[in-house]
Amino acid sequence: MLRLVSTKRIISGVPGWRCFEKVSGTQASTIRAQLKVHSLAPSNRTSTGSLLNPRSVSWLASRLHRGDSQGSADGANDKDGFSLKSISHAPKPALYLGFSGLIPFLAAPLLMAATQTFHPEVAFAQMVYGASIVSFLGGARWGFALPPGSPAGPDWMNLGNSVVPSLLAWLALLCRDNITEGALVVMMGLGLSLHYDLALLPGYPPWFKAMRTILTLVATFSLVATLAIKQFCSEKKVKAIQNSTK
């Protein structure tokens, strides 16, 4: 009885940190590790809360955006998205030829807006040019997918969807007597081709996607401007103007 009482007194009098000395090395390290985890648990919750802060989220998003823009600067393929700033990496021939291709789109509504008269021949010429551009965009996908080693292989997805813009261009040319319907079909073909190039069919570099977006928007708004002039301005054929000047 005396030994048991004395043992209890000795154990009860030993501080908690001295008890670790009685435990084996492996068990002591395990207990210390568990105590360390429990002691760090509040700080982990605090750090998690700070990460959920809107400022932290916005900062993280900006860093990810910078990383994406820097990664796409070398002209590599970007499947997740792109930035319009990547157009600065476009080759000069593609940039100059691409934006010069907007001249026929913009010349038609500017001419009719200057005269405040809707000319069906001018609007039809603009619609025919738009249909040729839509067909060209479909053919560009074929030329991109056919070479060996291309990131966009010649499968049903790439080649099959590339035929659709050409069919829409042909359908627009059949609407000779209705400029409104023809222009709407051309706008549909431009939007569908842009959707293919940006989201559905991979392979194009980011600078080309940025340039395609800008060119498509400008071309579409030029056709919308032509339809607005047709709605609000008087119509007069070019042949009638030539006969009146003779």
Determine contact, residues 190/220, Cβ cutoff 8 Å.
Answer: yes
What pLDDT is stored for residue 200 in this prediction? 80
91 has a pLDDT exceeding 90: yes
Angle at alpha carbon of residue 123, lines to 225 and 227, rounded to 5°:
30
The β-bridge partners of 117 are 234
Return the pLDDT at 150.
Answer: 83
Q: DSSP per residue over 15-28, as a string?
A: -HHHHGGGS-HHHH
Residue 69 makes CB contacts below 8 A (sequence gap 6+) with 83, 85, 86
Q: In the chain, pLDDT over 90 holds for what percent of residues?
A: 42
pTM higher than 0.95 for the full model? no
Residue 142: count other Cβ atoms within 10 Å of its Cβ.
14
Binning pLDDT at 50, 70 and 90, where does residue 39 land?
very low
- Return the residue matching tokens 């809107």: 54
Residue 46 has pLDDT above 70, yes or no: no
Q: What is the mean pLDDT of the chain?
A: 75
CA distance 105 to 211: 16
- Compute the residue count for the chain: 246
pLDDT digits (tens, 9 = 90+) for 156-211: 888 888 899 999 999 999 998 899 999 999 999 999 999 988 888 778 889 999 99
